[in-house]
Structure 1
Amino acid sequence: MTDTAQITDSHCHLDFPDFADELPQVIERAMNAGVTRMVTICTKLRQLDQVRAIAESFEPVFFAAGTHPMSAADEPLATVDELVALAEHPKFVGIGETGLDYHYTAESKDIQQQSLRIHIEAARQTGLPLIIHARAADDDMARILAEEHKAGAYTCVMHCFSSSAELAKAALDLGFYLSMSGISAFPKSTELREIFASAPVERILVETDAPYLAPPPHRGKRNEPAFTAHTARIGAETFGMEYADFARQTQANFERLFSKAAAYNGAV
């Protein structure tokens, strides 16, 4: 590993077929780029065994699990008990991803909202952060997050945030975090970068959402955790910080939110 400033890819999908033939090499490249931790996300609970096995096989990898909103109508509805039980694993560090996606799957919004509330209750009971996917559903997302937070506090990251300034403010007002993905590094994402720049830097994470959304100079290609560094450099510019300082801040932010990952001692 190099002396590059350390960062964490807080959201990737290492179980996807895109990585099947070279996962050890992908993780090694990430480490060489300074990405010393990765959280791989299970989006369908029937794929949990594969995701868990990756986390168990690679020291830098942690995992989270939930039902992606775009799959909420096609997968069995998770139960709170089922999600809470997953937290017994030492490398299980988050609930989700869950959320609302009305861009592609608006017809299933009722079941998406039901699934979201189940995941929120599991986050509340476990103390693990909720991992939210939000697309074209800002009003309902803000309303449900606020309603549920009033009913009982929980922590949350708005993963791959690319929504409105209003939803950003609603999330930040609840004490939640925003995560920068490759979208924030796209040249035309000026407005999105302005939204991030107006947020407290203490509430910012970085991620890839790999294999999707590769930042420049890899845009249009398969994304991978090593490329978190490209997004983090844009993040540093957005906040007017030196890269090493921004990296250090996002590490502290990740460890504050994903405290279970920060406390992990290597015992699986």
Structure 2
Amino acid sequence: MSKTRREIPIFEHPIIETHCHLDYLKDRPLAETLAESRRVNIERIITIAVAPDNLAAVRTLCQAAPWVYGTQGIHPHEAEHYTDAVEREIREHVPNPDIVAVGEIGLDYYYDHADRDVQRQVFRRQLQIACDAGLPVVIHSREADEDTIAILKEFEHSLTRRGVIHSFTSGPGLARYALDQGWCLGFNGITTFNKAENVRDIVRMTPIEQILLETDAPFLTPVPYRGKENAPFYLPFVAEKIAEVKGLALEQVVRQTYLNSLRTFFREP
């Protein structure tokens, strides 16, 4: 953990937090987190659903401020808890104007908290929801590159060409497939970790027009605040690292990732 803590940089141009879990933050009141995020010029926050018991919590959080948005979906860790009733709940609420994507969905063969066959089945069912609703997807894939690509190929002609593989730690094959589909890759505090050169290699190969900034808070706190609970207001450190790794001006990274976020989740510009 870095011993040097510095002030969070504040950019003139706004930024968008595309992936966090506000209902999992414990270190400070929600109002304080939102106020600090606003102070560092975060214009919008997307809080992500992961389990049957937090679908409603995400929808409630969307009422906390007009600039907080959410998703509806079940994480692969929770695949064995996916039921017809859960699917009905997701389908009922994805048309809400403050729900901007189906996610977090996908495959996780690293932890294997759910049977792999069940994970694949649930992934397919939720991709179909996204197809039916015309919404982008927020995809989690860990140690499952081949199956993730194979399943996504089944839906190539039905999914919108807006989406993200978030917290990207996979190999170049999955990166190239997603980029060829017109999707984005989401990068967070992992890019600042000393041993994450594999992730920085993917950052280098990813066009800046297809990068999204995220924190995945409360997880994966960036340097120089590792060891503390992550929060959306640490997002500027991710932007700085992306600019450093790609050899681009920070202002260019901030402006372009902002536009990428609008295009992916808000059908703008």
TM-score, normalised on structure 1?
A: 0.90
Please tell me whether residue 25 in structure 1 is matched to residue 32 in structure 2.
yes
d(CA) in 1 for partners of 2:25, 2:242: 29
Shift of 1:133: 0.6
Per-residue CA distance 1:137-181 (angstroms, 9 max, x = gap): 11101111122214x232320011111111111111222110011
d(CA) in 2 for partners of 1:78, 1:200: 40
Instruction: List alignment gaps of at least 5 residues for structure 2.
Output: 1-9
> Which of 151, 155, 159 is the aligned partner of 1:153?
159
**Counterpart in 2 of 1:235?**
242
> Which of 26, 44, 49 is the aligned partner of 2:56?
49
Shift of 1:106: 6.5
d(CA) in 1 for partners of 2:108, 2:31: 32
Q: Is the 8 A contact 2:78 2:113 kept in 1?
A: no
Which region of structure 1 is more displaced relative to structure 2, 218-227 or 45-54?
45-54
Please tell me whether residue 215 in structure 1 is matched to residue 222 in structure 2.
yes
Instruction: List alignment gaps of at least 5 residues for structure 1.
Output: 264-268
Which region of structure 1 is more displaced relative to structure 2, 236-245 or 80-89?
80-89
d(CA) in 1 for partners of 2:126, 2:198: 30
User: Which residues of 2 match residues 105-254 of structure 1 at below 5 A?
Assistant: 105=112, 108-150=115-157, 152-154=158-160, 155-254=162-261
> Which of 45, 60, 65 is the aligned partner of 1:58?
65
**Counterpart in 2 of 1:266?**
none
Q: What RMSD in Å do the two structures reach over aligned CA positions? A: 1.9
How many residues are treated as equivalent by the alignment? 259
Q: Is the 8 A contact 2:78 2:114 kept in 1?
A: no
d(CA) in 2 for partners of 1:68, 1:87: 16
d(CA) in 2 for partners of 1:240, 1:77: 48
Shift of 1:26: 0.7
d(CA) in 2 for partners of 1:17, 1:35: 17
**Residues 79/190 of structure 1: CA separation in 2 closer, same or farther (3 Å cut):** same
Q: Is the 8 A contact 2:52 2:86 kept in 1?
A: no
Which region of structure 1 is more displaced relative to structure 2, 80-89 or 54-63?
80-89
Q: Is the 8 A contact 1:4 1:33 kept in 2?
A: no
Q: Is the 8 A contact 2:140 2:166 kept in 1?
A: yes
Per-residue CA distance 1:82-102 (angstroms, 9 max, x = gap): 433212211110101000001
Q: Is the 8 A contact 1:84 1:125 kept in 2?
A: no
d(CA) in 1 for partners of 2:39, 2:113: 41
Please tell me whether residue 10 in structure 1 is matched to residue 28 in structure 2.
no
> What letter is aligned with 2:138?
I
**Residues 71/107 of structure 1: CA separation in 2 closer, same or farther (3 Å cut):** closer
TM-score, normalised on structure 2?
A: 0.90
> What letter is aligned with 2:105?
T
d(CA) in 2 for partners of 1:177, 1:214: 21
Per-residue CA distance 1:173-222 (angstroms, 9 max, x = gap): 22211001111121222221121111111111000000000000011220
